Amino acid sequence: MCVLLIEAFYGGSHKQLMDLLQEELQEDCVLCTLPAKKWHWRARTAALYFMQTVPISPNYRFMPEHKLAHFKKVIGAKRSGDAYQTVVLPGQQKCRALMKTSNAASKSGLCEAQPRLHTTQHEGLPSPLIAVARLNESEASESTNPCQEEDKQHLTFNLSNILSGQDYQQRPLHIVWPHRWEHDKGPETFFEVLLKLKEKDLPFHVSILGEAFSEIPDIFSEAKKVLGSSVLHWGFLPRKDDYFQALCMADVVISTAKHEFFGVAMVEAVYCGCYPLCPKALVYPEIFPAEYLYSTPEQLFKRLQNFCKRPDIVRKHLYKGETAGFSWAALGSKFRSLLTAEPREDL
């Protein structure tokens, strides 16, 4: 049996997990990916793309019949003769049947006939069918936006050099934000809180470590100008050693995410010694104890205001949650057992 791994957003923590799984499974694994760009379009159209491009093999494990039928309903495919039959097929035939389903759906104007697919489409963006055709275009994930371009010379600088000469306990609170520079990570809320701290002349430093793409929210360039000397680092750190060093030098890690399935960046920062502050929503209550959660931006501001006045509170703090269970040492064997187990209806 060969395990087929499909990742439509091959970057960041998604890439990290896929690479670990591929290393663990070695020759028993085939990895199919798309560049880490336009995550909202990847979610809408990547399945259609992969249905037509995943290499055919009789050794892949396929979805049970009831899940295959459900999948066809999800994509809105209308029954049309033998293109939508769900009889039991050998692996190679079933893969061709899936591709036939995709082709038939495309020819029937599937996406164009579903106006609800366009309810959140931004002006100027292509239709879903056009987006599928463009998914296989090679796109560089590195941003050319001036907001990060000017910091390229600092991508490997040592934070400890900047802070040298200052007594550790006398340094201002160091806040880190290690997330993608996109609206779903809530940068507007984050910078709104930081600018309020700045208005009150509260001492703090900030490092913005997330990765940026071709479209960057305006708030980043606006906030950088106002924050001025409070900024220690601004931009993506491609080398993991530099990234983890930056996390180890920080005091507080913040999430203002509106969309989060797990929160790898937050767990990594906590492992590096940061005090986490996360929304009391999404996946965070499942990971972090209640004292690390906030319900409103006002609550976040009050917590940071207190920490700015007394940074020793977080520097002496011992994290009260658990991180060992999220390590690859704890999860690697579980992933392998799941992926190599005999197929069952409930998998």
For 300, phi then psi, to 5°, come to -60, -45
Share of the chain above pLDDT 70, in %: 67
- How far, in Å, CA of 340 to CA of 212, rounded? 36
Mean pLDDT of all residues in the chain? 76
Q: Is pLDDT above 70 for 318?
A: yes
- pLDDT for the residue numbered 95: 35
pLDDT tens, position by position, 301-315: 999 999 999 999 999
pLDDT tens digits, residue range 75-123? 554 444 444 333 333 333 333 333 333 344 333 333 222 232 222 333 3
Q: Given this model, what pLDDT does residue 135 score?
A: 41
CA distances, 274 to each of 78, 80, 253 (Å): 51, 56, 6
